[in-house]
Amino acid sequence: MKSVAKALAMIEELASSPRALSAIQLSRQLKVPRSTIYRLLQTLARHGFIVREDGMACYRLSFKLLDLGHRVLERTDLLEAARPILRDLSARFRETVHLAVEEDGRMVYLDKVEGSAPFCTHSRPGRRVPMHCTALGKAVLAYLPAERVRAILGRHGLQGHTARTIVSYAGMVEELESVRRRGYALDDVEFEEGVRCVGAPVLDHRGVPMAAISVSAPVSRMSKAQARRAGKILCAAVAGVSGAMGWQVPGRRSRAGSVSRVT
């Protein structure tokens, strides 16, 4: 914990300095032994938080912290824009609605609105779930660049969670093409037994998916026909959240393909 505190103090010192600082300067200003400063500098540099000035033994913060800050701001705006839609969808369907973002090749729940109909699910904000077998994950995968999809599936694999989980890469490619055609993703009892789910992507100003919203229900209350109707309604609702995130021009092509497909 002391090392973490020293590293954070170093980041704050570099952030407040108008110029790059040397290890000697940091040691003097933070009152930390120079050997410790060198170890902390090496660790922070290895993780991309600081960079060394060309031709000098001085260090400054990288733009990684700026990127992290922007991500926090984006998610704050995302929650504010999405919450009314989550409540409206939950009230309309009387089912559980989720908002999630992709992080490190997994979907992370950010928010959840319980439906009024009885339904037991293990989801909670902060929980991570796979992408290949959830409607939330497939909705995002379908609009990511192909190389990013390959990297995610290659890293995490295609583990079977139910008898219906798609476990082949070729099958997943075909499935993601279907998602793009429909505009929404379907988890047809692929992640949890007895649960069907539809999901649609939230797009940013570039048409790149930054999150997804889903509606989940027991198969007894969501037939495949009902899932198709719910998917169309969901797409229209989620388009409003995408608009709040800066997505404006239907038909403009992004890295992920034709944005107009999700309308």
Residue 226 — φ and ψ, nearest 5°?
-65, -35
pLDDT of residue 250: 55
Q: Could you tell me the pLDDT band of residue 253, with boundaries at 50, 70 and 90?
A: very low
Residue located via tokens 């400054």: 60
Confirm if 94 and 217 have CB atoms less than 8 A apart. Answer: no
Estimate the share of the chain in helix, then strand, then coil, as percent rounded to the nearest 5. Answer: 45, 20, 35
CA distance 138 to 180: 10
Q: Could you tell me the pLDDT band of residue 262, with boundaries at 50, 70 and 90?
A: very low
User: Comparing 118 with 20, which gets the higher pLDDT?
Assistant: 20
Whole-number percent of the chain with pLDDT over 70: 90
Closest CA to 141 of 165, 172, 95: 172
Q: Note the pLDDT tens digit of each residue in 29-49.
A: 999 999 999 999 999 999 999
Neighbours of 107 (CB within 10 A): 27
Neighbours of 172 (CB within 10 A): 19
- Classified as helix, coil or strand, 140 is helix
Structure tokens at 140: 């995002």
> In the chain, at which residue ranges do the beta strands (DSSP E only) sit?
21-22, 50-52, 58-61, 96-103, 106-113, 128-129, 185-188, 195-203, 209-218, 253-254, 257-258
pLDDT of residue 119: 67
pLDDT of residue 245: 87
Closest CA to 23 of 45, 46, 1, 48: 45
Distances in whole angstroms, Cα of residue 47 to Cα of each of 65, 77, 163, 181, 258: 11, 27, 40, 39, 35
Q: Note the pLDDT tens digit of each residue in 53-98.
A: 866 789 999 988 877 876 776 666 888 889 999 999 999 999 999 9
pTM: 0.69
Give the lowest-confidence range in 19-23, 56-60, 192-196: 56-60
Q: Could you tell me the pLDDT band of residue 254, with boundaries at 50, 70 and 90?
A: very low
Domain 67-262 has CATH 3.30.450.40: yes
**Average pLDDT of the residues in 175-204:** 96
Structure tokens at 15: 């952030």
**Average pLDDT of the residues in 219-233:** 95
pLDDT of residue 53: 82
CA distance 137 to 131: 4
- How far is it between the farthest Cα atoms of the chain? 69
User: Comparing 183 with 255, which gets the higher pLDDT?
Assistant: 183
Q: Where are the domains of the chain?
A: 2-62, 67-262
Supply the mean pLDDT for the chain.
88
Class of 2-62 in CATH: mainly alpha
Distances in whole angstroms, Cα of residue 35 to Cα of each of 20, 23, 25, 32, 136: 19, 9, 13, 8, 47
